[in-house]
Chains A and B, each alone.
Chain A
Amino acid sequence: MRGKKIVQRAVLTVICLFVWLPFLMMAASSLMSEGELLERFGPILSNRTGSIKPALIPDYPTLRPYVELLLDSPGFFVMFWNSFLQTGAVLLGQVVIATAAAWAFGIYTFPGKRQLFFLYIILMVLPFQVMQAANYLVLDKLHLIDTHLAVILPGIFSAFPVFIMTQCFSSIPKSLLEAARLDGAGELRIFVLVGIPMGFPGIMAAGILGFLETYNAVEPAMAYLKTRTLWPLSLYLPNITADKVSVAWAASAVAMMPPVLLFLAGQTYLEQGIALSGVKE
């Protein structure tokens, strides 16, 4: 039995190496000086001969890239802030609007429900670029182009969180709701007092997934925001990778920090939430 466990752990460790190694490499590279980076990554950075020599420990570790990134490039902070503003607003909107919609889909029966739900699912399908021109038409008519709202509003009405949370809410036992109704609770009260606590992991999971989605999204901002001071970090990142070798890795590392930390902090919810969306009685 014990032997089997060891084999299991060994196999999993090997699989996890595929994640750990790149992460470690990124972390190590973010602590390298420009000279060392050129030395190690010459071929991809500037057409050099020789081979790429990634390392898990830098030869001469330095915090210089972080200093340069965080202190010497004001653009970085503006974009960091834009990212948080846009992502925060989208999440807030989703929590209010998508949760309510998911609650409706999850626990009520009403005419047209199945068709509407089908519509919501099908709306998730097409890739962004296909919708780019058509979305522009609507946003332009509403005079939202080149404002934060051009990214925020369509983000709020993404169908994905509705989908995830619906699965979650529909697992709440009907009997519980019946009991609440018999106690004379109104529908809104039931939603607030029963739905939200019971569906909390689902809401959190949708929130975390929504965060990842919005925070890492490149295309909407690129398509609808012309003013560079409105750009989020996800757009700044490819920029910095191309221009400034020295801070490329540090920028990657810093940009990844919020989602990773959120992940670690909210992992239990994420698991429960994803799980709830998958299993129902």
Chain B
Amino acid sequence: MKQNHWRKRITACILLAAMTVLSVSGCGNKTQDESKTNQETTSQTETSGANANQEPVAKGRYVEHKIELPVDEDSMWILDIVKSPEGNFQLFAKDKNAGGPVQLYEYNGSVWTLITPDYLSKIPQNIYISHIAYSSDGIVYLTYRDAEYKEKLAKVSDTADFTVIPLEEISKDMITNLHVSKSGILLSLMWNTMVLEDDGTVLRRLPHKSAQSDNCFSFAVTEDSFLAPGDQGFIRYNEVTGEEKEIIPYQSGEEDIYGSLAAAGEGEDFYLCNSAGIHRMMENGTIWETIVDGSLTSLGMPSINIKKMMTGSDNDYYVWCIENEKSNLIHFTYDADMPSVPSKTLTIYGLNLSDNKTLRQAASLFQMANPDVKIEIIDGHSDAGGISVSDTIRSLNTELVNGKGADILVLDGLPARSYKEKGILEDMQKIIGEMIESGELYDNVADKFYEEDGAVYQIPTRISFPVIIGNEEDLRHFSTLEDIAQYQNANPDKPITSKARYENILREYANLYYTELVNPETGQLVPGKVKTLLETVKTLGDACGAKVIFGESENDGRLNAFGFDQGNRIKMSGIYDLYGGSRLISIEMLNSINDMMLPYSAIDKRGYSMEQLNGSYLALGMLGVTSTGKEKETAMEFVRFVLGSQVQSSDLRDGFPVNPEAVDQWQEKTSEYSVAISVSGSDDYLDGYWPEPERRQELLGYLNTLNNPIILDGVLMEMIINESKGYFEGTQTAAQAAAAVENKAKLYEAEQQ
């Protein structure tokens, strides 16, 4: 027995030792990581340390200038921007409507000049050029689609005629990149990049190997290597032999393959430009050195898509990027007098800021306008996983009561009412009042955020509003929950909503009619309304065939079509089902003009009417300035900036603007984007194009009429959802379930007394 006991203990000890070894190996990884980050930061700290004796602030930072482009993209295509063998930037363009010859502009550092080298006239006019590259001896290579829409490669020069290089196998594939190096022509297709002889002979194939995409959107060719995206990082190939030399880990993750690579022209160093900035990888290095901090420049703006980076001759960089379907050329130069690190830090905290594009856009623009300010966006809960929201809020409150915490709070999902009452939030009346005065803020929106004493503690930065679409006589029955239930009862064979789980319908209607349910003044449930809500949802659900849970076989062959868990955020669109005839009306929660493209198509085809629903809207990205913050003035400035027309005018598809001046720019904006979906079981389809000016006006005109903000109390919402389960499962009556909800709500209320 005794022996047995010992054996058990020894086994345990051995296992314990094994665990320790495991954890130590983990420690090994860790220290490696640490040393990496250390090295990454040393370059910055060293500069600041070196200057520390003479000056309190380290100086030197890359700044950006926008280079005006010589063509108007409304009437011209920009075909490519390349560096000529002489080192000048050249922009190739073509008239959108008139066609004609390729036009070439050259940039000498300050102005663009139209030039006409002889070879231009040799390029046929009926081709669609996609990429242009120079060889070192001045021959121009170009890829294009011919009149039959086949991909082709050709070369031309002042002395030689336009010659097509024969390439049979690529006719279907899309060519994503072209470069001419000393060893041959590099041409990126699906799966691999080919190295070609001048006569089209394939010398080598260099596979791309990225799990994210088969295409190579960007590569770099240094003196001896070719760098292309791989699975774990960029693959460095020996350009001459095609041998795979090393894998260089991505700078910020696999999305780096959508950034742009560039080589400086000499040596093995190369550069990467992504939303985090411009980074250099030295020869034999393992660590990316960040040269330009993206968050301090427009590279970090969500509205920007990087197309191509090119290196200048004086440690400067040119980035060709697309914003709102328009090209920008940004020049990054080193400014030795600029403080390398901003002196002020403004912190913004919110539960879920990872996809708050407006805020990120505003942060980038604000930092560019105020180089002494660094904006830190703290995403409190986005990838917190199993850590509950209340745990996160408790941590935030711990900071707030101790006079710490962010300068600006994004109040969505936070207990804003308590913060207001406890004096955590600062009065923003001064800036809000000014903005209303000068017509920079919808007063129908801002009005609702004035307290009785005239103070303003919170203000939305974006708006999402519902419209209802259907036959005119049907639209009249949606002003209250009772109306809807009555109408559905009168037309039991015409479902109002799409088939879904009861819970999803409940969330939708609790959201849409929230102000009917919860008194906006007191934040308390309106007596009796929960029962109405539950009964309405039941009526709607019964008409459309809703269930508590759908089994796998009940989804009509579509993966989890009805059973998906939509969570708290409602993003609804019923246009497909309305058009297909499976529902009576459609409610669209709109975030941008794009969201109306398909609905307008349905309206055109069927003659539907559209109305805004009850003046209600979702107030998104509610900002508040904390009274405990250290940078109150800057914080106020920032709030004003976010609401200002510079930020509000960009359409990031995360909500409509709150600023009428910005709306004017939305009105003007056009897009070539289009979308089409076919209606299952028929030849019929919906095809959406950018709405005509009158339609845009109609849509944006709704913003003037919104007066019913929906500001959800997450606690109450969860109570409504959880306590009503029994009703939909059939174990409780509506009255019992409503009583249970109200009971819990009372508890919630009573805590505050």
Chain A interface residues (CB < 8 Å from chain B): 46-50, 70, 74, 76-78, 80-81, 84, 129, 132-133, 136-137, 140, 219, 222-223, 226, 229, 235, 237-243, 257-258, 261-262, 264-265, 268
* CB of B502 to closest CB in A, whole Å: 12
Residues A47 and B549 in contact, CB atoms below 8 Å apart: yes
User: Residues of B contacting A70 with CB < 8 Å?
Assistant: 22
**Chain A to chain B contacts (Cβ below 8 Å), 23 pairs:** A46-B565, A48-B552, A49-B549, A50-B551, A74-B29, A76-B26, A77-B26, A77-B27, A81-B23, A223-B398, A226-B395, A235-B387, A239-B387, A243-B385, A243-B386, A261-B12, A261-B13, A261-B15, A262-B12, A262-B16, A264-B12, A265-B9, A265-B16
- Which 6 interchain pairs have the tightest Cβ spacing? A77-B26, A238-B386, A239-B385, A242-B386, A264-B12, A265-B12
B246 within 8 A of A: no
B438 within 8 A of A: no
Residues B385 and A261 in contact, CB atoms below 8 Å apart: no
Residues B9 and A81 in contact, CB atoms below 8 Å apart: no
* CB of B135 to closest CB in A, whole Å: 44
Residues B16 and A133 in contact, CB atoms below 8 Å apart: no
User: Residues of B contacting A264 with CB < 8 Å?
Assistant: 8-9, 11-12
* Nearest A-chain residue to B404, judged by Cβ: A140
B19 within 8 A of A: yes
B25 within 8 A of A: yes
Residues A81 and B550 in contact, CB atoms below 8 Å apart: no
Query: Could you tell me the dominant secondary structure of chain A's interface residues?
Result: helix
User: Residues of B contacting A226 with CB < 8 Å?
Assistant: 395
B563 within 8 A of A: yes
User: Residues of A contacting B401 with CB < 8 Å?
Assistant: 133
* Nearest B-chain residue to A260, judged by Cβ: B12
User: Residues of A contacting B13 with CB < 8 Å?
Assistant: 261, 265
Residues B387 and A137 in contact, CB atoms below 8 Å apart: no
The complex places the Cα of A84 from the Cα of B19 at a distance, in Å, of 11
B391 within 8 A of A: yes
Residues B16 and A258 in contact, CB atoms below 8 Å apart: yes
**B361-400 to A contact mask, C-beta < 8 Å, 1/0:** 0000000000000000000000011110001001101110
Residues B565 and A47 in contact, CB atoms below 8 Å apart: yes
The complex places the Cα of A238 from the Cα of B387 at a distance, in Å, of 6
User: Residues of B contacting A140 with CB < 8 Å?
Assistant: 402, 404
Interface residues on B, range: 35 or more
Residues B15 and A84 in contact, CB atoms below 8 Å apart: no
Residues B385 and A80 in contact, CB atoms below 8 Å apart: no
User: Residues of A contacting B384 with CB < 8 Å?
Assistant: 239
**B27-69 to A contact mask, C-beta < 8 Å, 1/0:** 1011001000000000000000000000000000000000000
The complex places the Cα of A237 from the Cα of B387 at a distance, in Å, of 10
Query: Could you tell me the dominant secondary structure of chain B's interface residues?
Result: helix
Cβ contact of A222, chosen from B27, B30, B391, B402, cutoff 8 A: B391
Cβ contact of A240, chosen from B33, B385, B549, B550, cutoff 8 A: B385
**B2-19 to A contact mask, C-beta < 8 Å, 1/0:** 000000110111011001
The complex places the Cα of A119 from the Cα of B13 at a distance, in Å, of 38
* CB of A147 to closest CB in B, whole Å: 14
User: Residues of B contacting A129 with CB < 8 Å?
Assistant: 394
* Nearest B-chain residue to A233, judged by Cβ: B23
The complex places the Cα of A132 from the Cα of B549 at a distance, in Å, of 40
* Nearest B-chain residue to A82, judged by Cβ: B30
* Nearest B-chain residue to A236, judged by Cβ: B385
User: Residues of B contacting A78 with CB < 8 Å?
Assistant: 26, 29-30, 33
Residues B25 and A77 in contact, CB atoms below 8 Å apart: yes
Residues B387 and A80 in contact, CB atoms below 8 Å apart: no
B387-444 at interface with A (beta carbon < 8 Å): 387, 391, 394-395, 397-399, 401-402, 404
The complex places the Cα of A72 from the Cα of B56 at a distance, in Å, of 45
B534-559 at interface with A (beta carbon < 8 Å): 549-552
User: Residues of A contacting B387 with CB < 8 Å?
Assistant: 222, 235, 238-239
The complex places the Cα of A80 from the Cα of B22 at a distance, in Å, of 9
The complex places the Cα of A241 from the Cα of B385 at a distance, in Å, of 8
User: Residues of B contacting A47 with CB < 8 Å?
Assistant: 549, 563, 565
* Nearest B-chain residue to A219, judged by Cβ: B391
* Nearest A-chain residue to B564, judged by Cβ: A47
Residues B398 and A136 in contact, CB atoms below 8 Å apart: yes
* CB of A69 to closest CB in B, whole Å: 11
Cβ contact of A84, chosen from B23, B551, B552, cutoff 8 A: B23
The complex places the Cα of A50 from the Cα of B549 at a distance, in Å, of 10
* CB of B622 to closest CB in A, whole Å: 23
* Nearest A-chain residue to B392, judged by Cβ: A222
Residues A81 and B26 in contact, CB atoms below 8 Å apart: yes
Answer whether A241 and B402 are a contact pair too, CB < 8 Å, given A49-B551, A258-B16. no
Answer whether A238 and B12 are a contact pair too, CB < 8 Å, given A77-B25, A257-B19. no
* Nearest A-chain residue to B15, judged by Cβ: A261
User: Residues of A contacting B30 with CB < 8 Å?
Assistant: 77-78, 81, 229
Answer whether A241 and B386 are a contact pair too, CB < 8 Å, given A132-B398, A222-B395. yes
Residues B16 and A80 in contact, CB atoms below 8 Å apart: no
User: Residues of B contacting A237 with CB < 8 Å?
Assistant: 386
User: Residues of A contacting B391 with CB < 8 Å?
Assistant: 219, 222
The complex places the Cα of A265 from the Cα of B10 at a distance, in Å, of 7
The complex places the Cα of A223 from the Cα of B30 at a distance, in Å, of 23
* Nearest B-chain residue to A78, judged by Cβ: B30
Answer whether A133 and B402 are a contact pair too, CB < 8 Å, given A238-B387, A239-B387. yes
The complex places the Cα of A196 from the Cα of B463 at a distance, in Å, of 68
Residues B9 and A80 in contact, CB atoms below 8 Å apart: no
Residues A257 and B15 in contact, CB atoms below 8 Å apart: yes
Residues A137 and B565 in contact, CB atoms below 8 Å apart: no
The complex places the Cα of A47 from the Cα of B33 at a distance, in Å, of 39
The complex places the Cα of A178 from the Cα of B404 at a distance, in Å, of 55
The complex places the Cα of A76 from the Cα of B30 at a distance, in Å, of 11
* CB of A198 to closest CB in B, whole Å: 22
Cβ contact of A137, chosen from B11, B23, B27, B402, cutoff 8 A: B402
The complex places the Cα of A268 from the Cα of B16 at a distance, in Å, of 16
User: Residues of A contacting B29 with CB < 8 Å?
Assistant: 74, 77-78
* CB of B402 to closest CB in A, whole Å: 5
User: Residues of B contacting A77 with CB < 8 Å?
Assistant: 22-23, 25-27, 29-30
Count chain A CB atoms within 10 A of each CB in B23, B29, B387, B549 and give the residue with the most: B23
User: Residues of A contacting B551 with CB < 8 Å?
Assistant: 48-50
Residues B549 and A48 in contact, CB atoms below 8 Å apart: yes
User: Residues of B contacting A242 with CB < 8 Å?
Assistant: 385-386
User: Residues of A contacting B19 with CB < 8 Å?
Assistant: 257-258, 261
User: Residues of A contacting B16 with CB < 8 Å?
Assistant: 258, 261-262, 265
The complex places the Cα of A81 from the Cα of B21 at a distance, in Å, of 11
* Nearest A-chain residue to B395, judged by Cβ: A223
* Nearest A-chain residue to B34, judged by Cβ: A229
The complex places the Cα of A76 from the Cα of B19 at a distance, in Å, of 13
Known: A74-B29, A226-B395, A238-B387. 16 other contacts (CB 8 A): A46-B565, A49-B550, A50-B551, A70-B22, A77-B23, A77-B27, A78-B33, A81-B23, A81-B27, A222-B391, A223-B394, A229-B33, A237-B386, A242-B385, A243-B385, A257-B15
The complex places the Cα of A81 from the Cα of B34 at a distance, in Å, of 13
